[in-house]
């Protein structure tokens, strides 16, 4: 029996998948677009389940009865945590919920870059900046692809020692590709706001490709445009944009691969974020939904597929497997057709399942290559 005797009210972003029906038996539920959650709506709410489009700050929450905020996302910079602490409002995010999805996004990105530029990934060094739930999985898949991997994460280095980590300067000197997976921190010794600044770009040695799939404000728009025009970097892959959805169209035009903030948008990642949010609210309010799990996660169109490695190099075999699950070029193409549909492309994003949802029936593939695919998460039939 819930400890809240009156009917509680929960506001839920209507783009959060698999959540409808979760709370209806224990609460009044209001589904709204994230940008439509107003102080008037929140005034008598007990909880909010949100994504990044709802700014949870004093303007929204002052004078409300909100006691708990759950964001079904890894990032939580849309929550004014200092205000919430002062106001006695608890909050939670969903750390790691979409880490496998971003891993898949980066894997597809690397494979497409390798095909387009005729690169052997085993010859390249990649610098992973930010090695938390997401960055650690990205680093692992890069290692499986045979790349030299450099890790930079100052908070982890302070806590764990320097053995596994390098300075950002070393990555700036040695990496052929740099991929960013940091939270957005506006201040302090681990500030990441405009980490990709003019000073950063002018300090690069090898004219690397830069990938940003964490937060738009981590890379300064004008600085990266200048870096591309001056050849300080050889390419930019962008999923997260400053001021989105009102992104800089000049930057879009010169970006090598562009997507509308969907790196973490696999169905698996979304379902996990929803599950973590529902369970967190249940535990806080005593709703009896602590073991709730989403249902209805669609299967891939072709969950079992044949992979014939005859005459192919290992990278080509792995490429076929990865691109069968997700080809980033499709998202790039759809986005460039109409960038003004940024939010709609996110809200109506098609089914994308992660590697473990697929089973490979292998022919003419060496055992060591099969081990790589299995370690990536593919099922082997």
The tens digit of pLDDT for each residue in 202-249 reads 999 999 999 999 999 999 999 999 999 999 999 999 999 999 999 999
Q: List, in sequence order, every residue forming a beta bridge with 363; answer none if it has no partner.
A: 308
276 Cβ neighbours under 8 A, 6+ residues apart: 70, 72, 92, 94, 97
Select which of 51, 53, 215, 353 is catalytic.
215
What span, in angstroms and rounded, lies between the C-alpha atoms of 134 and 132? 5
CATH fold label, 99-258: Rossmann fold (3.40.50)
What span, in angstroms and rounded, lies between the C-alpha atoms of 247 and 243? 6
Torsions phi, psi for 138 (to 5 deg): -60, -45
Torsions phi, psi for 354 (to 5 deg): -80, 170
Based on the residue annotation, tell me whether 346 is a catalytic residue of this protein.
no
Select which of 103, 217, 242, 244 is catalytic.
244
Correct CATH for 8-93+267-285 of 3.30.1330.10, 3.40.50.720, 3.40.50.300, 3.90.230.10: 3.40.50.720
248 Cβ neighbours under 8 A, 6+ residues apart: 221, 225, 241, 242
Select which of 78, 261, 346, 352 is catalytic.
261
Nearest of 91, 107, 104, 86 to residue 50 by alpha carbon: 91
What span, in angstroms and rounded, lies between the C-alpha atoms of 221 and 203? 17
Domain ranges in the chain? 8-93+267-285, 99-258, 304-380
The tens digit of pLDDT for each residue in 280-339 reads 999 999 999 999 999 878 878 889 999 999 999 999 999 999 999 999 999 999 999 999
What are the average pLDDT values for consecutive 10-residue runs of the chain, which has 381 residues? Answer: 68 94 94 92 96 92 97 92 96 93 98 98 98 97 98 97 97 98 94 98 98 97 98 98 96 98 93 96 96 87 94 98 98 97 91 95 97 97 89
Q: Do domains 8-93+267-285 and 304-380 have the same CATH topology?
A: no
Whether 64 contacts 46, CB under 8 Å:
no
Based on the residue annotation, tell me whether 115 is a catalytic residue of this protein.
no
Task: At 381, list the tokens.
Answer: 């039939």
Based on the residue annotation, tell me whether 215 is a catalytic residue of this protein.
yes
Torsions phi, psi for 105 (to 5 deg): -60, -45
The pLDDT, as a whole number, for residue 52 is: 83
Domain 304-380 is of which CATH architecture? 2-Layer Sandwich (3.30)
């Amino acid at each position: 029996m819930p400890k809240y005797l009156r009917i509680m009210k929960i506001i839920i972003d209507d783009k959060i998948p698999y959540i409808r029906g979760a709370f209806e038996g224990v609460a009044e539920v209001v589904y709204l677009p994230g940008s439509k959650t107003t102080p008037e709506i929140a005034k008598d709410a007990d909880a909010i389940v949100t994504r990044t489009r709802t700014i949870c700050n004093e303007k929204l929450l002052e004078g409300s009865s909100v006691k708990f905020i759950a964001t079904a996302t890894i990032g939580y910079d849309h929550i004014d945590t200092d205000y919430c602490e002062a106001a006695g409002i608890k909050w939670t995010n969903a750390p790691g919920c979409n880490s496998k999805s971003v891993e898949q996004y980066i894997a597809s990105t690397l494979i497409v870059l390798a095909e387009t530029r005729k690169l052997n990934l085993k010859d390249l060094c990649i610098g992973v900046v930010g090695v938390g739930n997401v960055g650690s999985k990205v680093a692992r898949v890069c290692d499986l692809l045979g790349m030299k991997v450099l890790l930079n994460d100052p908070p982890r280095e302070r806590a764990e020692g320097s053995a596994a980590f390098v300075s950002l300067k070393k990555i700036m000197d040695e990496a052929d590709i740099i991929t960013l997976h940091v939270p957005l921190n506006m201040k302090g010794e681990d500030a990441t706001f405009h980490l990709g600044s003019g000073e950063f770009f002018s300090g690069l040695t090898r004219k690397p490709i830069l990938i940003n799939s964490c937060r738009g404000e981590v890379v300064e728009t004008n600085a990266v445009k200048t870096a591309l025009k001056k050849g300080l970097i050889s390419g930019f892959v962008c999923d997260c944009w400053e001021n989105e959805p009102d992104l800089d169209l000049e930057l879009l035009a010169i970006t090598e691969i562009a997507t509308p903030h969907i790196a973490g948008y696999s169905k698996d990642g979304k379902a996990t974020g929803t599950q973590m949010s529902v369970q967190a609210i249940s535990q806080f309010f005593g709703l009896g939904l602590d073991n709730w799990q989403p249902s209805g996660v669609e299967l891939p169109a072709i969950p079992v597929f044949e992979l014939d490695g005859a005459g192919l190099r290992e990278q080509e075999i792995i490429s076929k497997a990865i691109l069968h699950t997700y080809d980033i070029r499709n998202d790039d193409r759809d986005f460039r057709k109409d960038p003004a549909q940024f939010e709609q492309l996110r809200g109506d994003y098609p089914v994308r399942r992660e590697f473990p949802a697929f089973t490979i029936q292998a022919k003419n593939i060496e055992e060591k290559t099969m081990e790589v695919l299995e370690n990536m998460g593919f099922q082997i039939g």
